[in-house]
Chain A
Amino acid sequence: MTTPTLAEKTKAAPQRRRGTLVRARRREAIALVMPSLIPILVLSVAPLVVALALAFTDARLVRNPDYEFVGLDNFGRLAGNSFFWDSLRIGLIWTVGVTVLQLAASMGLALLLNSGLRLQGLTRVLALVPWAMPPVVVAIMWQMIYSANGGPLNAFLGSLGLPDDTNWLGDFATALPAVILVGVWVGMPQTTVTLLAGLQQIPAELHEAASMDGAGAWRRFTAVTWPSLRPIVTSITSLNFIWNFNSFSLVYVLTEGGPGGRTMVPILFTYLEAFKNRNIGYAAAMGVVLVIVIVLLLAIYLRSQFRDDRTERRG
């Protein structure tokens, strides 16, 4: 380095002052973040690290736990546990089913709410009800709807001359679809609200220009609405996917995984392993596998979305 010129020297002074300012601001920022950071570190990050460690032990949920490191044993056992893989398959049907139907139903509702119909106020309030309600109450409510005798669904089907004695939540064939429908009902509000906000940001001129070019409703949707909504659809679908995969309360109260394990989603399976069979080491290993599955599926989904994006832009 050469000796600094006078001009450089005078520039250096305020820079040093800026340096202390930056440092002061950083200290301030740290002080502001601390109250949130400490509980996150102690009650969220640390437990996750412990949970990962538990997955490699034979820990049991007993008074005086005494556990040993068992390496990959839990994962080896898990690989041969067909009940777990069955429940993972059910969980994927549940997750994909709910997420896709949620998106379709919410898109329809958001488009309707964005097209200047009457009854909007009522619909918007109603559309929030499922989101607000405690999952336990949702489950109680739908158990009544699905009730085999005296349930309104069967009564309605009966009035149409269809079979009216289906035990929706108790029958092997109908239990999972019935539970999926409740999942769609619960998750629709959030998706609708998000999509509607996205729709309202699309400039009206785009639609006008498209109609002037003679585009019909469907063509306008595919050419204007869908491309503009794409980023929002991608983010809400990813979040829905995670939330649905990890949802527990609804299925637990509706069916407790029954009948005959037909609605045993993996979170429920893991819960039972941990708190009924008391094998928390083994359950932690299941939890870890679930995290890996969900991260992999998300990565595949997001990659395909970005690739589509790029090809679209190029084309």
Chain B
Amino acid sequence: MRALARPAQYAALLLYILFLGFPLLWLISASVKSSRELNSLTVSLLPQQWHWENYVEALSRQGLVHSAWNSLVVALVATAVVVVIALPASYVLARLRGKVRAAGVGWILVSQVFPVVLVILPLFLILRTIGLADSLAGLTLVHVTYMLPFALWMLQGYVSAIPVELEEAGAVDGASRVTVLRTIVFPLLAPGIAATAMFSFVSSWNEFFFALVLLQSPENYTLPITLKMFIGGEGKVALGPLAAGAVLAAVPSIVFFTLLRRRLTSGLMAGAVKG
């Protein structure tokens, strides 16, 4: 029985690896296959011929690079704004007990319950009234609001992990509150801030729904929207370039998440366990 347990565990682990990893592997394989091979009936993971032209074709397609640029601008601006406004608030959430904290944490949870489709209706009307409906500025604004609860949640977890005694020691030495925050709290928070920023960036870069509703003109499309239009249109015949574009779109997110790995575990748990 005991002797059997280990091999069985390894077999199960391999199945998990296959389940989790195979789809991505297949996408990458499709991105380097020629359309002739993709349409043939012989199915194999390794391409008969490496067809890198798919990437060239995906990149030269107008729209893809332009919309990647749009995605980048929206994600960078939204991330910067989210971190700057969430940082002070998360400090208060973590340090103050009682009603403020309860209200803050309560809102973070409640905001998850409301379906985005309900939130977008009035937002769409408001943004249209001020002329920002079909614009990257409007989308950035919506992304900020949508990412804020999670950023607050993550950051307040990291703040809670910093012992209050450190701040008190600074205060005893005569440092003002602002000095304490600047010289003691923020430096210790730096890794947490980086993690929150990366997480926010990926959320915005990947975001699909708000972009779908808000952006009407092709020159404003973000990357996910351009890819979606591609599937509906020529993607059926140009599977290879579609796969190549999809791989390129996923690369930044996967790189950031790999960097985030350790932080993600501790950061989310800091919130989850104490909350």
Contacts and interface: CB of A to CB of B under 8 A. Distances in A.
Interface of A: 28-29, 31-33, 35-37, 39-40, 43-44, 46-48, 50-51, 54, 61, 65, 105, 108-109, 112, 115, 117, 119, 122-145, 149-152, 155, 185, 188, 190, 193-194, 196-198, 201, 217, 232, 235-236, 239, 242-243, 245-246, 248-249, 252-253, 267, 270-271, 274-275, 280, 283-284, 287-288, 290-291, 294-295, 298
B3 interface: no
Contact of A54 (B12, B45, B122): B122
Contact of B43 (A115, A152, A248, A267): A152
A291 B117 CA distance: 11
Given A50-B122, A112-B13, 17 more contacts: A32-B89, A33-B92, A36-B86, A105-B16, A124-B261, A129-B21, A133-B24, A134-B249, A137-B246, A137-B250, A145-B22, A152-B22, A185-B19, A197-B273, A235-B275, A243-B112, A294-B113
A235 to B, nearest CB: 6
A248 B152 contact: no
A123 B13 contact: yes
B86 A185 contact: no
B257 interface: yes
16 contacts: A33-B92, A112-B12, A126-B21, A132-B250, A133-B24, A135-B224, A140-B246, A150-B41, A197-B265, A197-B272, A217-B5, A246-B113, A246-B116, A248-B208, A271-B117, A274-B121
B162 interface: no
Given A35-B84, A145-B26, A44 B20 contact: no
B88 A33 contact: yes
Contact of A270 (B115, B261, B264): B115
B20 A130 contact: yes
B208 A136 contact: yes
Contacts of A124: 261
Interface residues of B, number: 90
Contacts, number: 256
Contact of A290 (B16, B30, B39, B118): B118
Contacts of A252: 208, 212
A117 B10 contact: yes
B136 to A, nearest CB: 16
A287 B20 contact: no
For the residues of A in contact with B, the DSSP-based class is helix
B38 to A, nearest CB: 7
A124 B30 CA distance: 25
B194 interface: no
Interface string B2-41: 0001100110110011011111101100100000001111
Contacts of B209: 248-249
Interface of B is mostly: helix
A144 B27 contact: yes
A56 B119 CA distance: 16
B213 A275 contact: yes
Interface of B: 5-6, 9-10, 12-13, 16-17, 19-24, 26-27, 30, 38-41, 43, 45, 84-86, 88-89, 91-92, 96, 100, 104, 107, 111-119, 121-126, 141-142, 144-145, 148, 152, 177, 202, 205-206, 208-209, 212-213, 223-224, 227-228, 231, 235, 239, 242-243, 246-247, 249-250, 253-254, 256-258, 261, 264-266, 268-269, 272-273, 275
Given A124-B261, A140-B231, A291-B114, A132 B9 contact: no
Nearest to A138: B23
Contacts of A152: 22, 26, 43, 45
Nearest to A119: B13
Nearest 4 A-B pairs (CB), nearest first?
Answer: A287-B118, A132-B257, A36-B89, A50-B122
Contacts of A144: 26-27, 30, 239, 243
Given A54-B122, A128-B258, A249-B208, A283 B117 contact: yes
B23 A185 contact: yes
